[in-house]
């Protein structure tokens, strides 16, 4: 499971939870920009008594690293990835060898163009500002009151 930098814990647990519930072991490769949440979840699982080897975390950056090793390893039966399209294409090529199952969420969502000439009296009601606040809130701020 290769997880993105934005919403790292939420998007990872969406995939880890069902996999573990079905009796699978998982290897999580978090984004190099937000590695702490996957590691902390592993510590919590250890404290809760989850057997060693059921939840695993590997770290790495870029090609010739943990992500590439996982996606090309013949003993990896399934791959799930959330992130950029170019990386998704490389993972899809790697998964084709051996016809392994893949699940991908690629590219951005809700792309919009915000022009600086727009003046908002209530920025939280403007679509672009709302999207930006959502991204900032989800990526860096635990909670934002609006």
pLDDT in tens, 39-74: 999 999 999 999 999 999 999 887 788 989 999 999
Show the beta-strand stretches assigned E in the chain.
26-28, 55-57, 78-83, 101-106
Q: Please state, in angstroms and as integers, the Cα–Cα distance from residue 81 to each residue in 33, 69, 76, 141, following that order.
A: 16, 14, 13, 24
Instruction: Kindly state the average pLDDT of the residues 3-21.
Output: 89
pLDDT in tens, 18-27: 999 999 999 9
Instruction: Kindly state the average pLDDT of the residues 73-97.
Output: 92
Torsion of CA 18, 19, 22, 27, to 10 degrees: -150
**Given pLDDT bands bounded at 50, 70 and 90, which one contains residue 6?**
confident
Q: Please state the domain extents for the chain.
A: 8-106, 110-146
* Cβ count near 1 (within 10 Å): 23
- pLDDT for res 111: 52
**Given pLDDT bands bounded at 50, 70 and 90, which one contains residue 36?**
very high
- What is 8-106's CATH number? 3.40.605.10
pLDDT at 134 exceeding the cut of 50: no
Tell me if 2 sits within 8 A of 82, measured CB to CB: yes
């Amino acid at each position: 499971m290769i997880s993105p930098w934005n919403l790292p814990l939420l998007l990872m647990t969406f995939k880890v939870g069902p996999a573990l519930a079905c009796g699978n072991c998982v290897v999580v490769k978090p984004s190099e920009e937000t590695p702490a949440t996957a590691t902390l979840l592993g510590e919590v699982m250890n404290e809760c008594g989850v057997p060693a080897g059921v939840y695993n975390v590997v770290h790495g950056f870029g090609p010739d690293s943990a992500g590439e090793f996982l996606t090309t390893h013949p003993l990896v039966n399934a791959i799930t990835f959330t992130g950029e399209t170019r990386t998704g294409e490389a993972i899809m090529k790697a998964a084709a060898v051996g016809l392994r199952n893949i699940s991908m969420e690629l590219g951005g969502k809700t792309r919009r163009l915000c022009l600086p000439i727009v003046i908002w009296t209530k920025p939280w009601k403007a679509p672009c500002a709302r999207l930006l606040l959502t991204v900032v809130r989800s990526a860096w701020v635990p909670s934002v009151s609006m």
